[in-house]
Amino acid sequence: MQLTAHQIGILLEGTVEGNPEVTVNQLAKIEEAKSGSLSFLANSKYEQFVYNSGASIIIVNEDFVPVQPIAATLIRVKNAYSAFSVLLEKYDELLKSNKTGIEEPCFIHPSSEIGKDVYIAAFAYISPNVKIGDGSKIYPDVYLADNVTVGKNVTLYSGVKVYFNCIIGDHTIIHSGAIIGSDGFGFANGGEGKYRKVSQIGNVIIEENVEIGSNTTIDRATMGSTIIRKGVKLDNLIQIAHNVEIGSNTVIAAQTGISGSTKIGENCVIGGQVGIVGHISIANGSNIGAKTGVNNSIREENLSWNGSPLMSYRDSLKSQVIIKRLPELEKRILELESKIKDRLK
């Protein structure tokens, strides 16, 4: 990739300050950038690196005011971090654009339908009646079970497993080791301490523009569908149980577990290691802090929550202050008890 500052300015709808013809051929962090590199400044704590950076071009926010001379050409945009992410995406696309065709050895059942410009790597297994849309990429050791539908421009990285009848929407990315459509945790107590497996005959539906992290598991529904709505972003190592529904554009961090039949609204932000019980609902726009235990439905929209058991974020901060004071309070109580005993003697 080699671009001029002028070309980048047009792509990002930014304003160029400096030499518009200077070129770059790589992306780099601002503290490590060398000549020929493109970098960005989005966090003020890294401003010190701008003044001695070797980068040829630096993307900055529109309101950035330098306090020292800067050798690099600047491109001013509304949001430097967002703009740089656009360039990362374009660069990523260039790296992967040459991946087309079918490698050997792999297995593709004759009844499957493979779209145009699809890449299927060696050791992939494509079962009967699978449909793969145009431009999708299937990396080594991916397993697609019977009747799976994969949309257009989907990327399934090495080791992804998709069980039967599941649907993956367009422009979705699923990272290595993720399992889509494994059985939900359903067992009936048959008495005498014995459990009987309840067959899980539903599926998983993943809508478009979803990204799912490595080793995340999404269980198939007992009946009906487990549904991941469009634009959802899931981190690594997340467990989503049977018949869960996650609303569009919700973001969930690593090691969170969501129990069966829970409905999570749109535009929620859920931190790492959050535990959510089953058969509840979480309102749109909820912001749930890391390690929170959600044991009841959240019905009010656009509020922040924290703690276990669940409480408002403000109440949680107050509780933390009180907890820190407990040793001091215990000491005062013991002193008071001692004084009372002395007076009673």
* Active centre residues (catalytic): 242
**Cα–Cα distance between 309 and 10 in angstroms, integer?**
51
What pLDDT digit, counting tens, does each position of 210-266 carry?
999 999 999 999 999 999 999 999 999 999 999 999 999 999 999 999 999 999 999
**Cα–Cα distance between 187 and 17 in angstroms, integer?**
65
What pLDDT digit, counting tens, does each position of 54-105 carry?
999 999 999 999 999 999 999 999 999 999 988 888 777 776 666 889 999 9
Domains of the chain in start order, with CATH, are 3-96 (3.40.1390.10), 160-309 (2.160.10.10)
The contacts of residue 318 (CB under 8 Å, 6+ apart) are none
What pLDDT digit, counting tens, does each position of 115-161 carry?
999 999 999 999 999 999 999 999 999 999 999 999 999 999 999 99
For residue 174, the model assigns a pLDDT of 98
For residue 254, the model assigns a pLDDT of 98
- List the end-to-end C-alpha distance of the chain, in Å, as a whole number: 88
**Cα–Cα distance between 188 and 234 in angstroms, integer?**
30
Tokens of 271: 């931190």
User: For residue 321, how many other CB atoms are within 10 A of its CB?
Assistant: 8
Of 207, 198, 246, 204, residue with least CA distance to 225: 204
For residue 72, the model assigns a pLDDT of 95
Q: What is the mean pLDDT of residues 292-313?
A: 92
Q: What percent of the chain has pLDDT over 70?
A: 98
For residue 343, the model assigns a pLDDT of 83
Tokens of 249: 């554009």
User: For residue 279, how many other CB atoms are within 10 A of its CB?
Assistant: 11
What pLDDT digit, counting tens, does each position of 88-101 carry?
887 777 766 668 89
User: For residue 190, how many other CB atoms are within 10 A of its CB?
Assistant: 9
Tokens of 331: 């000491």
Residue 37 β-bridge partners = 26
Per-residue DSSP letter, 298: B
Query: Alpha helices of the chain — where are they, by DSSP H?
Result: 5-12, 80-96, 313-344
